[in-house]
Structures are given as C-alpha cells and as structure tokens.
Amino acid sequence: MLWRPNSTLVGTAVLVIALAAPSFVYPVLLMKVLCFALFASAFNLLLGFTGILSFGHAMFFGGAAYASAYTIKVMGWPTELGILAGTAVAATLGLVVGQLCIRRKGIYMTMITLAFAQMTYFFVMRAPFSGGEDGLQYVPRRAVLGVIDITDERALYYVVLAIFLACFALIHRTIHSPFGQVLKAIRDNEPRAISLGFDVDRYKLLAFVLSAGLSGVAGATKAVVFQMASITDLHWGTSGEVILMTLVGGIGTLFGPLVGAAFIVGMQNRLAGLGEWVMVTQGLIFMTLVMVLRTGIVGLLSDLRARISRRRTV
Amino acid sequence: MDLIFGVPAPLLLGQLILGLVNGATYAILSLGLAVIFGMLNVINFAHGAQYMLGAFTAWMMANWLGLGFWYALFLAPLVVGAAGIVLERVFLRHLYDKDHLFGLLFTFGAAMVVEGLFRYQFGSTGQRYANPLPGGLQLGFMFLPYYRALVVPAALVVCFGTWFVIERTQLGAYLRAATEDPVLVRAFGINVPVLITLTYGFGVALAALAGVMAAPIQNVSPLMGANVIIAVFAVVVIGGLNSIMGAIVTGFSLGVIEGLAKVFLPETSDTVIFVIMAIVLFLRPAGLFGQEK
C-alpha cells in the first residue's frame, strides 16, 4: 500500500534520469548497466517471486549472446531478428533445463542449474561454431528495423533503453497478475498452493521459461552492444554476479535488481584495473550482505520508510 | 600392442586408474558435502576452495617450511579444518535458522574471496608439487606409478573409515540423532552446537585431505577447486545427500566413467557427468540412493 503512489513517482524520476543520462555518462557503460539490470530483474522473477534459486542463469544469458552473435555475424541476420533468435534459444534452453530442474526441490534444484550451466559452458567452448576461448567477435551493428543507425552509440542507447523498458514492463505486469500471485503463493507455501489445486510444476516451469527468455533478451542485447559473445558470459562467475546484483538491490523487490546492477557494474568499472581484487571484493560483499543485510538496499529503504511512517501515524 | 575394444591397453588402463583417482576425489568431496549438509543444512559452496586450500597448504609447507608430503598429509587437513571451524563459529552458525540459500551464498562468497586472493598471489597457471613416491611398477602391459596405485586404496580407507564412524559408532549415533532431531538430542545432555562445529571442521578437513592427495597428480592451481566442485554437485545430485555409501559409490563410478569417456569419446569427457545427471533426473528424480527430505 505504502509503495504504490511512490513507485510511480520513483519510476518517472528514474525514466527522466535514464533519458538524460547519456549526456553525462559514457553510453556503453549505461547500456551495460541496462543489460545487467534486465538480467537481474529476470533472475529476480525466479528467486524473489517464485522462490527458486538458480545458480545457472549464465547459460541463458550467454547462450543467447552466442545465438544472437552467430545469427547476426555469420548468418547475416538483422539486429532485431538476432536478438529474437537469442531470446528463443534461451527460452528453449529454459524449457528443457526447467523441465528437469523442477523434478527436485530447494538446494538440489540450485545444484542442478549450476551443473547444467557448466555443461553448456563446456559444450559451447568445444563447439566448432563458437570460436572457443576467443568467443565471437566483431559482430556488426546493423541498423535496427532498417532505419535506426546503431553505430551511433547514443542511438543504440535509446534502443537498449526501449528494449529494457518493454521487458521491465512485462516483468512488472507478470508480478502483479493473477499468475504472479500464484507464483508468490508457491514461494511462501508450496504445499498449500498444491492443496488449493494449483498445478505447481506448470507454474514453476512457466516462470522458469519466462525468466530464461528475459535473461536471453539481456544477453542478446549485450552481444549487440559489445559486438561480441564471450565465454565469460557462460561462466559460473556470471551466474554468481547476477545473484549478487539481486542480493545487493533486494531479493523480491521490483527496483532492487536495477539498483544492484548499477552498483555492481559501477564497482567493476572502478576496480577494473585491479584484476583479482574485483573477485575478492565481490566475495566480501556477498559475505557482508548475507550476514547483516539480507533484504538488500531497496529492502532496507522500504523498511526505513515503513518505520518512519509508522512513527508518524502513532 | 594389446588392444581392448580397439583401444591400446595401456591407454585404457591408464585412464581407468586416473578415473579411479579422480573418482576418489569426487567421493571424498561429496562425502564431506553430505556430512556437512546432514548436520548444518548448509550446502558448503566453499568445499572446492577448501580442497584447493588443502593442496596449497601442502605446497606452502613443502616450499616455505620444508615439510614433506607425509607431514602435509596430516597437517594440512588440520590447518584447513581449523580455519573451517573459525568460519563456522564466527559466521555460519548465525545462518542456521535462516533460509538455507543464505548458507550457500555465504560460502560462495567465502570461496570467491579465497580463490581471488590465491589467484592474486599465485596466478592461475598452477604450481608443481613433487611426487612423494617416484617410480612405479612395470606390469608388462603398462607402467603403474606407485603414487597413483596407492591413492585409490588410501581414499577407500578414508571413505570407509568415515562411513564406519558415522554408521557404526556411538559418536556416529549421536551425529545421526542430532541430524534427525537436534532439540531432543540436546535434551539428552549432548552438546549439539559443539557437535555441529566439529562436523563442519571434519567435512572441511576431508576436502583439504582430498586436496593434498590430488596435489602430486595435478597442478596445484587456484582454479582447481572451482572446476571440481561443480562436478561434485552433479555427483551429489546423482547419488543423493542422505546416503554416505551412495556418495562413495557414485563418486568412484563417475570418476571411472569420466576416465572411460576420455578414451572412447574424448569430446564428451567434460560433459559426461552432467549428461548422466540429466538422465538420472529424468528416470529417477530422487537420485540413485536418496529419498528427498
């Protein structure tokens, strides 16, 4: 209740900032933030709203990056079709992996997603089409819909922003739909959802596919922005990063993953010259958050707001 | 030259032994994971890092202190196990009443810190560790290095020793009881928190022991833990976490299958464990030995 009027306000403010941002910040960095914000939001749909911790989301992100890089670069597809191809590959992969994952629960499910992601990593690394350790580089930036020239980084930024907003709106809609309510019910009390007659496995699978597909949009877009698909996109480190972003921002909050993605990408950018210290810092952030701030930044802010307004009403 | 199924015998048997050695690593690591999960309800993601720490502790003892392999075999697990006990006392015990994903995430963070520091210090290429038992047996059809020949039975002794302690002794009975119902066991006057701490220390020491045993065979590298832990997770999914014997059998068999894959279908050797996991999930979702809690 408390959040409702303000999320419109926050949303508008964020939108204004997002539209003006490329005048102040390097657009490629902003696009990276947007891609990871979308990735983390898609991941959060599963962790925060369905209660499934996937440790393998890199396979959807990276798989889509490879699919779009391959279709655009090697097969000569237009940019928008390449992104759609990446999304389709990620969603299909989500369907297959999700099907097997939901046969187990809880911690086992997490280990299964990690194992399948590792399998995808090795498969792509060895596959003849992937360029091995080098990945697929120099993906051309073809005009979007035939008219928008995305070799201009500002134009590309607005394309990426549009993709992000469309997907974010879809996530927002999903969370607030009856379908989203059932997902939350499953998260909070699965046996009860079953006893109410919901086919829990179908709901979980659909959430899994949706999350995988949206992660795919993020990965495919990232491949267009950076003009490459690299093997790091598929590495378990990427799966860990998206968890960290969600945890930093706040699991199960709408804006948390955005804040978390901006925070982590910004930190990586700052520490870029320090090599292994990025990994150490990320590990320390993980440990600190789990010990003292499990609700994340957005969770903390909304707790504070709730406390202040309660004091006012008393 | 002798051929077995169209493959030179020395190659096949060599990979088979290497498979058993890897299987021993899988078995000891999944055993440790299972023991820890049983008591703490935490999936110890740092298990790979602790395995790597075991190998590096042995390397550092050899290169900085001049202590040989046989000292390291006993000292490294003690050192790393003690570090594990500190981690449990200071941090992990505060997470038991939280959602179990936080235990996983915390240990993942700890693993990142440790691996990042070691990568910074040692790079990712890896260090050589001298073979404590050079030479080997000339069996006629193949050359069998002494060390590899001894690692497998040694690992079996460790595995079955653990199985014996947990399934057949008074201490093991306390452990199993505390896994089932910690409150009741506490009411009987047994100090369950100490039991939990020691269990974690023991599981970590097992991981470190596997690391020391692996050190002379493979390069001691900061990356060795991360690569092996994911395979071990697949082993655990296949075998189930509830059965100690299941962990041992699955670990060894998958090591052997991986070794055979290297001979017959080399391009699948990285993925074969995960493919088997997928098949098991499809046919027997609860795993080969486990029932889900």
Specify if A71 maps to a domain: yes
Q: Which residue has the higher pLDDT, A143 or B75?
A: B75
Contacts of B91 in chain A (CB under 8 A): 287, 291
CA A119 to chain B, closest CA, distance in angstroms equals 5
Query: Searching chain B, which residue's CA lies closest to the CA of residue A54?
Result: B101
pLDDT of residue A150: 81
Question: What whole-number distance in Å separates Cα of residue B244 and Cα of residue B172?
Answer: 12
Q: What is the pLDDT of residues A236-248, one digit of tens each?
A: 989 999 999 999 9
pLDDT tens track for A46-97: 999 998 999 999 999 999 999 999 999 888 889 889 999 999 999 999 999 9
Question: Is residue A311 predicted with pLDDT exceeding 80?
Answer: no
Residue A34, pLDDT > 90, answer yes
SS3 at position B291: coil
Q: What's the mean per-residue pLDDT of chain A?
A: 88
Using beta carbons and an 8 Å cutoff, which residues of B are at the interface with A? 37, 43, 91, 94-95, 98, 100-102, 104-106, 108-117, 119-120, 226, 230-231, 233-234, 236-237, 267, 270-271, 273-275, 277-278, 281-282, 285-286, 292
- Give the pLDDT confidence score for residue B2 in this predicted structure: 65
Residue of B115, B237, B273, B282 to mutate when probing chain A, most A C-beta within 10 A: B237
- Over residues B133-185, the pLDDT tens digits come to 888 887 777 778 888 888 899 999 999 999 999 889 988 888 888 888 888 98
Among residues A109, A207, A285, the alpha carbon closest in space to that of B100 is found at: A109
Q: What is the pLDDT of residues B25-40, one digit of tens each?
A: 999 999 998 888 888 8
Average pLDDT of A2-31? 78
CA dist., res. B250 & res. A268, Å (int): 40
The answer to the question of residue A147 being in a domain is yes
pLDDT at A106 over 60: yes
- Give B-chain residues touching A118 at CB under 8 angstroms: 230-231, 234, 274
In a domain, A136, yes or no: yes
CATH architecture of B3-130+150-283: Orthogonal Bundle (1.10)
Chain A contact set for B285 (CB, 8 A): 103-104
**pLDDT recorded at residue A200:** 92
pLDDT-based confidence at residue A314 (cuts at 50, 70, 90): low
The count of domains in chain A is 1
Residue A2's pLDDT band, with cuts at 50, 70 and 90, is very low
> What pLDDT, on a 0 to 100 scale, did the predictor assign at position B293?
46
Asked whether residue A306 is assigned to any structural domain, the reply reads no
Could you tell me if residue A101 is inside a domain?
yes
Does residue A227 form part of some domain?
yes
Three-state SS sequence of chain A: CCHHHHHHHHHHHHHHHHHHHHHCCCHHHHHHHHHHHHHHHHHHHHHHHHCCCCCCCHHHHHHHHHHHHHHHHCCCCCHHHHHHHHHHHHHHHHHHHHHHHCCCCHHHHHHHHHHHHHHHHHHHHHCCCCCHHHCECCCCCCCECCCECCCCHHHHHHHHHHHHHHHHHHHHHHHHCHHHHHHHHHHHCHHHHHHCCCCHHHHHHHHHHHHHHHHHHHHHHHHHHHCCECHHHHCHHHHHHHHHHHHHHCCCCCCHHHHHHHHHHHHHHHHHHHCHHHHHHHHHHHHHHHHHCCCHHHHHHHHHHHHHHHHHHC
Domain, as residue range, for A114:
24-235
Ranked by mean pLDDT, the top range of A136-150, A215-229, B28-42 is A215-229
Please write the tens of the pLDDT for every residue from B86-131. 999 999 888 888 888 888 899 999 999 999 999 888 887 888 888 8
What is the ipTM for the molecules in this complex? Answer: 0.86
Span B218-262, pLDDT tens digits: 888 888 888 888 889 888 888 877 788 888 899 999 999 998 888
pLDDT digits 0-9 by tens, A88-103: 999 999 999 999 888 8
- Rounded Cα distance between A279 and A271, Å, is 10
pLDDT of residue B55: 93
CA gyration radius for chain B?
19
Residue A28 within a domain: yes
